[in-house]
Chains A and B, each alone.
Chain A
Amino acid sequence: MKKVAYFPGCTLRTKAKDLDKYAKDSANALGFSLEEIENWQCCGGVFTTSKDEIATKLSSVRALAYAEKNNQILLTVCSACHNVIKQTDNAMRNDSEFASHVNNYLKDETYHGTARVMHYLEYLRDEVGFDNVAQKVVNSLKGVKIGAYYGCLLLRPNSVMQMDDPENPRIIEDLIKALGAEPVIYPYRNECCGGYVALEDAASAKKKSVSVLESAKQAGADIVVTACPLCKYNLEKNASDVKVVYFTELLAQALGVKGDENE
């Protein structure tokens, strides 16, 4: 079985254990295994854009250096980890001054900008292939109307993330189709849920999350899927009658590896 270096992130160890577990189980079912990298540290949740923020990026660079040393793809599942690590990777590649500052801190773990950071979704699309995913589906989700919720972190800034068309993405919709379900496209799928501002200003986050869910509901979605624990929290906290689940949970369910409770 093909082994892929995996960066889980702190939330997947605590509040978002489902996101992690189902990702691993689904990977096994699809013929690859997620190998947690050694001694990883929290990515910090958000990317600090300032050029002189060095220390806050070191944990991501360490993960990148590990993948580089082992000549592996660095796989992420959480949108936030993916965004932070990918943006850090981009800064290391394109800002030589920043890179030399960072590498000065990292004695044996310097990074030279050659690792390949991939989100789990990208791995399914580009390495496994959605066609192959579809073939492994045992519990087709036929008839279920699912809205993909991208939020901001997977897509923006597009010049760095390069995952999909940032204004009209299809990667999650294609996965939904592969699982036999019906994707529902709604206009707020790439609008922000309110993010970490929720901690201080719950009202602000509520306003944004409600618009997202209303938009999905109006378009006819029964379920909304996300790759981000914070999106899930914000949406669920303000949820109406639309269920919010991790995309990995849906995947595991379709692949028949979710466990017995729903089967």
Chain B
Amino acid sequence: MQRIGVFVCWCGSNIAGTVDVQAVSDALKNEPGVVFSTNYQYMCSQAGQDIIKQAIAEHKLTGIVVCSCSPRMHEATFRKTAAAAGLNPYMVEIANIREQCSWVHKDMATGTEKAIILGKAAVAKVNLNAPLTPGESPVTKRALVIGGGIAGIQTALDIAEAGFPVDIVEKKPTIGGKMAQLDKTFPTLDCAACILTPKMVDVAQNENIRIFSYSEIEEVGGFVGNFKVKIRKKARYVKEDICTGCGICTEKCPQKKVPNEFNMGMDNRRAVYIPFAQAVPKVATIDPNYCTMLKTGKCGICSKVCTAGAIDYTQKDEIIEENYGAIVAATGFNPISMDKFDEYAYNQSKDVITSLEFERLTNAAGPTAGKLLRPSDGKHPHTIVFVQCVGSRCAACAEKGKEYCSKICCMYTAKHAMLTRDKYPDTEVYVFYIDVRTPGKAFDEFYRRAVEEYGVHYIKGMVGKVFPEGDKLMVRASDLLANKQLNIQADLVVLAAAIEPDKSARSIATMLTASMDTNDFFTEAHPKLRPVESPTAGVFLSGTCQGPKDIPETVSQASAAAAKVIGLLAKDKLTGNPCVAQPNELMCNGCSSCERVCPYGAITYIDKEFRMPDRTTAIRRIATVNEAVCQGCGACTVACPSGAMDLKGFASAQIIAEVDAICK
């Protein structure tokens, strides 16, 4: 039999105003198991907590009921109080007589009556409580970063700097991501490569960082502190440890007609390639879709010219298994396809390009060596039209565009317009905008400079249609402020395509059991207060996989995610939730019903030897619960046909006792 103490809180007048607290403590005094009952003005205060501690000692209490505010408010407080007095913290139950009683009822009589019933239910439950000890699990002191763009790079560097080992998994042959493709960065106009490539080198040289490039996540198991991950290292047909990155193979390969994805397909690369000069790792990769040797078995030139002997046509995909304490998603973004927006004639004219293609056209390492030339005829364009919000803020139909604002386009378009006018003052530049959105440090000043100093024509209105006519592009647009329809004869049209999460994000989210929104951006645990954590413990978010953001914002978020990871990895052990499922071995018949409903894969089966009544032994298959994996939802307890599965802290008998107390 328990020895229960009841403590009724007044919460000043919050409770005492509508509930006769004395009557409640008197009524509960007579409940089975109750040996002490009192009330006090503020139970959560130091004095109130002392009353509880004193009563535990004086009356040798084994259980406690606090009738007070919501357990979401002070359950932890009173559990600590009990623990300080030597009582198991899970012997404390809260009757919520504030949020669910005094605050929603006006009448003293009804409030008091309900408070008594809620108290009785809590007493009935505590009578069946048992001391619980939370399990502990060790923390694997290694982090995984999925994605090697600027977000993944920054997160990995910060974690490594704190002394923890980090692995970066990048599906492309090199890290660097989208930032590596950019020319200059707003609002300071420093060159992207100049600030990114040193970081890429830091990553390569950091002893705590391993890079798995040309690799993908295959499988994720385990839980916070103890993730088990399988990584598929795709065959690149080049021995990474031997290749010196000299590039001779990439010059001699006879297959010259492979669209170069790094330059957005605006020029060609070979079948064996290094994406760009500053690639990390600087190792060649053979593209199996184009390599003649791999496809037909005839060629082998790259192997012949490689003095290091790094080419290996027999290489196979390799699966690497590694354990991690924390995982960071940094899967990034892509511009959306322009196929559904052919009123802008993207598929009808080579001279209609996206902004990312424009970046490559102005980049010194791009297909035109940094000279702004039209893709169709290589001529210098004299009139350029930029169109903003192509596919962003588009709510007409889901398969066409994105309802959200892509956030970065206003600024990079201002940058493109400004740089064009700076380098080629003979060029007329028009920007069609719906709104110019430039919140950010020195952002609006930047945009105004494009207008005021560089003479970019900003026109409030939208382009309706682009007609490719001869070697010109007739741009039909509106100028809303002048109430005019404009027809501009342009040489180049640049579309600010909306951005969307990388297509791989969804399958990665599924593997991580991390949730996503309808746009396939990862959701954060709390939109304001926990912006870099996913709701799944141990999974963190970095960069544009969580929502559109520019480089400064991405880097801040990347460092924030790293701080969270470091906080986790700094712990030696994680304390679990003791309210987990527990099977009764004698009742379990090994039917697997519980295993099938468990969302966490926490239930497995073992064969155990039992002594039978006739003194023989029998081996029976029974369920066991991994307490570190179980999150305590209770789905298995209902699925179990024999009633063998129960949930600690929310046992069937306890809940039935509460039901009985309420219905009495």
List chain A positions with a Cβ less than 8 A from chain B.
Answer: 159, 165, 167-168, 185, 187-188, 215, 218
Query: What's the nearest-Cβ distance from chain A to residue B487, in Å?
Result: 11
Q: Which residues of A contact B345 (CB under 8 A)?
A: 167-168, 187
A159 near B397: Cβ-Cβ < 8 Å: yes
A187 near B468: Cβ-Cβ < 8 Å: yes
Which of A159, A168, A218 touches B342 (beta carbons < 8 Å)?
Answer: A168
Q: Which residues of B contact A167 (CB under 8 A)?
A: 341-343, 345
State the total of A-B contacts with C-beta under 8 angstroms. 23
Write the chain B residue with the least CB distance to A169: B342
**Cβ < 8 Å to A, chain B residues 559-594:** none
Q: Which residues of A contact B474 (CB under 8 A)?
A: 187
Q: A159-B397, A165-B342, A167-B341 are in contact. Are A218 and B470 (CB under 8 A)?
A: yes
**Cβ < 8 Å to A, chain B residues 332-352:** 339, 341-343, 345, 347-348
A188 near B348: Cβ-Cβ < 8 Å: no
Q: A165-B342, A167-B341, A168-B342 are in contact. Are A185 and B348 (CB under 8 A)?
A: yes
Distance in angstroms between the alpha carbons of A168 and B345 in the assembled complex: 8
List chain B positions with a Cβ less than 8 A from chain A.
Answer: 339, 341-343, 345, 347-348, 397, 467-470, 474
Q: Which residues of A contact B469 (CB under 8 A)?
A: 187, 215, 218
B467 near A215: Cβ-Cβ < 8 Å: yes
Among A159, A167, A168, A188, which residue has the most Cβ atoms of chain B within 10 A?
A167
Write the chain A residue with the least CB distance to B466: A187
Distance in angstroms between the alpha carbons of A73 and B339 in the assembled complex: 30
Q: Which residues of B contact A188 (CB under 8 A)?
A: 467
Distance in angstroms between the alpha carbons of A215 and B345 in the assembled complex: 15
Can you list 22 A-B pairs with a CB-CB distance of less than 8 A?
A159-B397, A165-B339, A165-B342, A167-B341, A167-B342, A167-B343, A167-B345, A168-B342, A168-B345, A168-B347, A168-B348, A185-B348, A187-B345, A187-B348, A187-B467, A187-B468, A187-B469, A187-B474, A188-B467, A215-B467, A218-B469, A218-B470
Q: Which residues of B contact A165 (CB under 8 A)?
A: 339, 342
Distance in angstroms between the alpha carbons of A185 and B467 in the assembled complex: 11
Distance in angstroms between the alpha carbons of A188 and B345 in the assembled complex: 12
Query: What's the nearest-Cβ distance from chain B to residue A219, in Å?
Result: 9
Query: What's the nearest-Cβ distance from chain A to residue B256, in Å?
Result: 29
Query: What's the nearest-Cβ distance from chain B to residue A186, in Å?
Result: 9
Query: What's the nearest-Cβ distance from chain B to residue A59, in Å?
Result: 30
Write the chain B residue with the least CB distance to A168: B342
Among B341, B345, B467, B474, which residue has the most Cβ atoms of chain A within 10 A?
B467
Q: Which residues of B contact A215 (CB under 8 A)?
A: 467, 469
Q: Which residues of B contact A168 (CB under 8 A)?
A: 342, 345, 347-348
Write the chain B residue with the least CB distance to A165: B342
Query: What's the nearest-Cβ distance from chain A to residue B491, in Å?
Result: 16
Q: Which residues of A contact B467 (CB under 8 A)?
A: 187-188, 215
Distance in angstroms between the alpha carbons of A105 and B342 in the assembled complex: 42
Distance in angstroms between the alpha carbons of A155 and B255 in the assembled complex: 42
Distance in angstroms between the alpha carbons of A187 and B397 in the assembled complex: 24
Q: Which residues of A contact B347 (CB under 8 A)?
A: 168
Q: Which residues of B contact A218 (CB under 8 A)?
A: 469-470
Q: Which residues of B contact A185 (CB under 8 A)?
A: 348
Distance in angstroms between the alpha carbons of A215 and B467 in the assembled complex: 10
Query: What's the nearest-Cβ distance from chain A to residue B649, in Å?
Result: 51
Query: What's the nearest-Cβ distance from chain A to residue B297, in Å?
Result: 35
Q: Which residues of A contact B468 (CB under 8 A)?
A: 187
Q: Which residues of B contact A187 (CB under 8 A)?
A: 345, 348, 467-469, 474
Q: Which residues of A contact B341 (CB under 8 A)?
A: 167
Write the chain A residue with the least CB distance to B468: A187
Distance in angstroms between the alpha carbons of A168 and B352 in the assembled complex: 14
Query: What's the nearest-Cβ distance from chain A to residue B336, in Å?
Result: 15
Write the chain A residue with the least CB distance to B396: A159
Distance in angstroms between the alpha carbons of A151 and B343 in the assembled complex: 14
Distance in angstroms between the alpha carbons of A180 and B76 in the assembled complex: 81
Distance in angstroms between the alpha carbons of A215 and B468 in the assembled complex: 10
Among B343, B348, B468, B469, which residue has the most Cβ atoms of chain A within 10 A?
B469
Q: Which residues of A contact B339 (CB under 8 A)?
A: 165
Q: A168-B348, A188-B467, A218-B470 are in contact. List 4 more A-B contacts (CB 8 A).
A: A167-B341, A185-B348, A187-B468, A187-B474
Distance in angstroms between the alpha carbons of A168 and B343 in the assembled complex: 8
Distance in angstroms between the alpha carbons of A215 and B476 in the assembled complex: 15
Among A165, A187, A215, A218, which residue has the most Cβ atoms of chain B within 10 A?
A187
Query: What's the nearest-Cβ distance from chain A to residue B574, in Å?
Result: 52
Write the chain B residue with the least CB distance to A185: B348
Query: What's the nearest-Cβ distance from chain A to residue B343, in Å?
Result: 5
Query: What's the nearest-Cβ distance from chain A to residue B143, in Å?
Result: 46
Write the chain A residue with the least CB distance to B470: A218
Q: Which residues of B contact A159 (CB under 8 A)?
A: 397
Distance in angstroms between the alpha carbons of A165 and B468 in the assembled complex: 17
Distance in angstroms between the alpha carbons of A202 and B397 in the assembled complex: 36
Query: What's the nearest-Cβ distance from chain A to residue B623, in Å?
Result: 51
Q: Which residues of A contact B342 (CB under 8 A)?
A: 165, 167-168
Ordered nearest first, which 4 A-B pairs have the shortest CB separation? A167-B342, A187-B467, A168-B342, A167-B343
Query: What's the nearest-Cβ distance from chain B to residue A225, in Å?
Result: 19
Distance in angstroms between the alpha carbons of A185 and B397 in the assembled complex: 27
Distance in angstroms between the alpha carbons of A168 and B341 in the assembled complex: 9
Q: Which residues of A contact B343 (CB under 8 A)?
A: 167
Distance in angstroms between the alpha carbons of A218 and B471 in the assembled complex: 12
Query: What's the nearest-Cβ distance from chain B to residue A62, in Å?
Result: 31
Distance in angstroms between the alpha carbons of A159 and B397 in the assembled complex: 9
Distance in angstroms between the alpha carbons of A187 and B343 in the assembled complex: 10
Distance in angstroms between the alpha carbons of A27 and B508 in the assembled complex: 52
Write the chain A residue with the least CB distance to B473: A187
Write the chain A residue with the least CB distance to B469: A187
Distance in angstroms between the alpha carbons of A215 and B465 in the assembled complex: 15
Write the chain A residue with the least CB distance to B397: A159
Query: What's the nearest-Cβ distance from chain A to residue B79, in Å?
Result: 57
Distance in angstroms between the alpha carbons of A188 and B469 in the assembled complex: 10
Among B342, B345, B397, which residue has the most Cβ atoms of chain A within 10 A?
B342
Distance in angstroms between the alpha carbons of A167 and B345 in the assembled complex: 8
Q: Which residues of A contact B348 (CB under 8 A)?
A: 168, 185, 187
Distance in angstroms between the alpha carbons of A165 and B346 in the assembled complex: 13
Distance in angstroms between the alpha carbons of A159 and B342 in the assembled complex: 15
Query: What's the nearest-Cβ distance from chain B to residue A147, in Å?
Result: 14
Query: What's the nearest-Cβ distance from chain B to residue A155, in Å?
Result: 12
Query: What's the nearest-Cβ distance from chain B to residue A24, in Å?
Result: 34
Distance in angstroms between the alpha carbons of A168 and B342 in the assembled complex: 6
Query: What's the nearest-Cβ distance from chain A to residue B92, in Å?
Result: 57
Query: What's the nearest-Cβ distance from chain A to residue B385, in Å?
Result: 15
